[in-house]
Amino acid sequence: MRILAPLILFIFMLTAPRAGSSAERVRLDLSREAVGRGKEVYLSQCALCHGLKYYRDAEHREGIKPQMETEAMKASLGAEAPDLSLMAISRGKGTEGAEYIYRLLTSYSVGEDGRMMNAAFAEETQTEGAIAMPPPIPLDDPELKKKANDAAAFLLEAAEPAKERSSVGAKVIVYMAVLTALLYIINRLTWMDVKKRSPWK
Ligand code: HEC
């Protein structure tokens, strides 16, 4: 029992729940506040080119259309901006899609030939990363990261409304409960041994 108990504990610890194992994860703030701010970011910085045709709220009962005409966009940017309704779930499972949007908005650079390059876009499209979308949030905006986070949070919420995102939290609670019970039992077993062998009792 003396060897067995720590062994069980050790194996149990190896199975501790993890939020994700992918190397490049960013921790996004997906709170209601972030989603609310993200809607403003979307309306002011993205809605010019991107629609949200499946989005519904009190003001937008039939989704949101991009402000710019498709033809004008193609003529000026050389590409069409995709509808963002389902973007956050089409670029990965769970929160991965939102993390991708965050990285997309924050990983711009200028290529040698002066073209706009984007590291996240390069990875996603398996190309060198030349992108038709100019940086929607100015790269020198001191709030770039926050705005990118909020836009990503909003787009995830738009794609997958109010879904319970606490599954990891629930797993952690169950894990802690079982761990507590296990520690209690091990503690009792350990002391039982010691007490039995104690020469003073
Ligand atoms: C000036 C127009 C314009 C604005 C403003 C704009 N976009 Fe885009 N966006 C585009 C175009 C064009 C593409 C297609 C890029 C390509 O295929 O090279 C695109 C593509 C995307 C994609 C898809 C990338 C992929 O993996 O295929 C996402 C996500 C995106 N934009 C998010 C945003 C967000 C979020 C905002 C606001 C913060 C925004 N965009 C603002 C024009 C715009």
CATH label of the domain that carries residue 83: 1.10.760.10
Residue 120 pLDDT greater than 80, yes or no? yes
* Residue 24 located in a structural domain: no
Q: What is the pLDDT of residue 163?
A: 55
Task: Say yes or no: 143 and 174 in one domain.
Answer: no
| Mean pLDDT over the full length of the chain | 88
pLDDT tens-digit map of 140-191: 999 999 999 999 999 999 998 865 555 667 788 899 999 999 999 888 888 8
pLDDT tens-digit map of 35-48: 999 999 999 999 99
Nearest CA to ligand 1 atom 16: 132
* Residue 84 located in a structural domain: yes
Q: Is 86 in the pocket of ligand 1 (CB under 6 A)?
A: no
Q: Is 151 in the pocket of ligand 1 (CB under 6 A)?
A: yes
Query: How many Å apart are CA 148 and CA 45, to the nearest integer?
Result: 11
Q: Is 149 in the pocket of ligand 1 (CB under 6 A)?
A: no
Q: Is 137 in the pocket of ligand 1 (CB under 6 A)?
A: yes
Nearest in space to 105 (alpha carbons), one of 50, 53, 146: 146
Atom of ligand 1 nearest to the CA of 91: 26
Task: Say yes or no: 90 and 170 in one domain.
Answer: no
User: 127, 117 in Cβ contact below 8 A?
Assistant: no
Residue 87 pLDDT greater than 80, yes or no? yes
Q: What is the pLDDT of residue 23?
A: 47
* Residue 70 located in a structural domain: yes
Q: How far is the CA of 200 from the centre of ligand 1 (A)?
A: 77
Q: What is the pLDDT of residue 61?
A: 92
Residue 72 pLDDT greater than 70, yes or no? yes
Host domain of residue 154? 32-159
Q: What is the pLDDT of residue 22?
A: 47
Q: How far is the CA of 110 from the centre of ligand 1 (A)?
A: 17
Q: What is the pLDDT of residue 196?
A: 73
Q: How far is the CA of 191 from the centre of ligand 1 (A)?
A: 63
* Residue 2 located in a structural domain: no
Task: Say yes or no: 135 and 189 in one domain.
Answer: no
Tally the domains of the chain.
2
Q: What is the pLDDT of residue 112?
A: 87
Compute CA 17 distance to the chain's CA centroid, rounded to the nearest angstrom.
17
Q: How far is the CA of 25 from the centre of ligand 1 (A)?
A: 21
Q: How far is the CA of 47 from the centre of ligand 1 (A)?
A: 10
Q: Is 133 in the pocket of ligand 1 (CB under 6 A)?
A: yes
Task: Say yes or no: 109 and 197 in one domain.
Answer: no
* Residue 10 located in a structural domain: no
Q: What percent of the chain has pLDDT over 70?
A: 89
Query: How many Å apart are CA 186 and CA 191, to the nearest integer?
Result: 9
Nearest in space to 6 (alpha carbons), one of 192, 187, 132, 127: 187
* Residue 173 located in a structural domain: yes
Q: Please give, one letter per residue, the 3-state secondary structure of the chain.
A: CCCHHHHHHHHHHHCCCCCCCCCCCCCCCCCHHHHHHHHHHHHHHHCCCCCECCCCCCCCECEECCCCCHHHHHHHHCCCCCCCCCHHHHCCCCCHHHHHHHHHHHCEEECCCCCEEEHHHHHHHCCCCECCCCCCCCCCCCCHHHHHHHHHHHHHHHHCCCCCCCHHHHHHHHHHHHHHHHHHHHHHHHHHHHHHHCCCC
Q: Is 48 in the pocket of ligand 1 (CB under 6 A)?
A: yes
Q: What is the pLDDT of residue 53?
A: 96
Query: How many Å apart are CA 123 and CA 116, to the nearest integer?
Result: 15
Task: Say yes or no: 59 and 108 in one domain.
Answer: yes
Higher pLDDT, 89 or 165: 89
Q: What is the pLDDT of residue 131?
A: 96
Q: How far is the CA of 170 from the centre of ligand 1 (A)?
A: 35
Q: What is the pLDDT of residue 21?
A: 45
Query: How many Å apart are CA 159 and CA 101, to the nearest integer?
Result: 13
* Residue 114 located in a structural domain: yes
